[in-house]
Amino acid sequence: MRATFPAAARLHRPSEYASALKGRRLARGALFVVMTPRGNDALEGQGSRLGLIIAKRFAARAVTRNAIKRVLREAFRQKKHLLPERDLVFRLHSRIGPVTLTQLKKQVRLEADALLDKAAQ
């Protein structure tokens, strides 16, 4: 099975993000909150879509923000076939402490896998 991450698998418009943020919370971890729009706005035939909100105030360095985004996209890409057809928005909600990038990537991947498993249920 080919697990790509095309443009159709991403949220693009601010209105798409706004509807997800006004929606319901699916899961919460130490670093992230996963939100989805309310109601049965099923994406027929499109599959699930991913949105990322990684604020500068929680991850000050661009290198850190970009690493978090790469890890989240990869985790989503690998679990996309297990997820229901709906929009998912990952929002960073706590400050990233002084850790190495390797440790941060491992921590983000473990949490992302756990949150995606909760979202799949």
Residue range of the domain that includes 69 = 7-120
pLDDT tens-place string over residues 64-118: 999 999 999 999 999 988 888 889 999 999 999 899 999 999 999 999 999 999 9
* Integer Cα distance of 34 and 87 in angstroms: 10
Residue with the larger pLDDT of the pair 38 and 45: 38
**What is the domain-level CATH number for residue 91?**
3.30.230.10
Res 66: pLDDT: 96
Kindly state whether residue 2 falls inside one of the protein's structural domains: no
How many domains is the chain built from? 1
CB 10 within 8 A of CB 50: yes
* Integer Cα distance of 13 and 31 in angstroms: 24
Kindly state whether residue 99 falls inside one of the protein's structural domains: yes
The torsion angle over the Cα atoms of residues 77, 103, 101 and 78, rounded to 10 degrees, is -10
Res 44: pLDDT: 57
Instruction: Report, as an integer, the average pLDDT of 7-33.
Output: 91
Kindly state whether residue 101 falls inside one of the protein's structural domains: yes
Kindly state whether residue 1 falls inside one of the protein's structural domains: no
Classified as helix, coil or strand, 20 is helix
Q: What percent of the chain has pLDDT over 70?
A: 92
The torsion angle over the Cα atoms of residues 6, 10, 12 and 14, rounded to 10 degrees, is 180
Res 7: pLDDT: 85
